[in-house]
Chain A
Amino acid sequence: GENVEQHPSTLSVQEGDSAVIKCTYSDSASNYFPWYKQELGKRPQLIIDIRSNVGEKKDQRIAVTLNKTAKHFSLHITETQPEDSAVYFCAGLSGTYKYIFGTGTRLKVLA
């Protein structure tokens, strides 16, 4: 089955700087990679996703890059703001709709 590793576990950046979170996956058959943002005590919210036939996808200040050969994908947040502070999870697919989540990255944006 799929195994997803995520780094770093914690990340602190100054407001306005960029943040990068990386994930690696094991199943070469995986073809869909979402990123979720979870604020304390709340549900994870899908913020961006990418399919395996695309190398990069961008949505305003958020972007995701995918390297299928190396089996890793990254979340990039530019011009970070205090409201970006949250826990971010990557996920890989194992079987039909069975998502395996990374261990999470606690992002703190310092004002």
Chain B
Amino acid sequence: GAVVSQHPSRVICKSGTSVKIECRSLDFQATTMFWYRQFPKQSLMLMATSNEGSKATYEQGVEKDKFLINHASLTLSTLTVTSAHPEDSSFYICSAVPSNNEKLFFGSGTQLSVL
């Protein structure tokens, strides 16, 4: 199956700092990637759809200025949590769909802890 790489796997930061998470498709090109957020014992909540070469599409209730998404190439999307606060602590996970294939493949996730 297709491989999606995500880094870092875990990050601890101070309140007010920004954190960047990278998502890479290793063996396929992904014009579209997705960013999810998952709280403990809860489901995957779609935050935004990342589109290569254009602006991301955010779900209702997700602040675009808080969660900056950049999809500068066909294999890389980044999510930057700006001015992080403790309530932003969560498991963030990206995913991508290879061209001509509807199967969704996930990155390994990033556990963000904001102190």
A interface list, Cβ under 8 A from B: 32, 34, 41-46, 49, 89, 91, 93, 96-104, 106
* Interface residues of chain B: helix, strand, loop or mixed (majority): loop
The residues of B that contact A91 with a CB separation of less than 8 Å are 104
Partner of B111, one of A41, A93, A98: A41
Given A41-B111, A42-B109, A46-B1, CB of A104 within 8 Å of CB of B43: yes
22 A-B residue pairs with Cβ-Cβ distance under 8 Å, sorted by A, are A32-B102, A41-B109, A41-B111, A42-B108, A43-B93, A43-B106, A43-B109, A45-B106, A46-B1, A46-B103, A49-B103, A91-B104, A93-B102, A96-B32, A97-B32, A97-B102, A97-B104, A99-B95, A99-B104, A101-B43, A101-B44, A104-B43
* Interface residues of chain A: helix, strand, loop or mixed (majority): strand
Residue B97 is within 8 A (CB to CB) of chain A in the complex = yes
A44 to B, closest residue via Cβ: B106
The residues of A that contact B41 with a CB separation of less than 8 Å are 106
Q: Is the CB of B46 within 8 A of A98?
A: yes
Given contacts A34-B104, A97-B102, 5 further A-B contacts (CB under 8 A): A43-B93, A45-B106, A46-B1, A91-B104, A100-B46
Interface residues of B in 58-98 (CB under 8 A from A): 91, 93, 95, 97
Closest CB-CB distance, A10 to chain B, in whole Å?
A: 10
The residues of B that contact A34 with a CB separation of less than 8 Å are 103-104
The residues of B that contact A101 with a CB separation of less than 8 Å are 43-44
A94 to B, closest residue via Cβ: B46
The residues of A that contact B104 with a CB separation of less than 8 Å are 34, 46, 91, 97, 99
- Name the interface size band of chain B: 20 to 34
B interface list, Cβ under 8 A from A: 1, 32, 34, 41-44, 46, 49, 91, 93, 95, 97, 102-109, 111
Closest CB-CB distance, A20 to chain B, in whole Å?
A: 19
The residues of B that contact A104 with a CB separation of less than 8 Å are 42-43
Partner of B97, one of A44, A89, A97, A106: A97
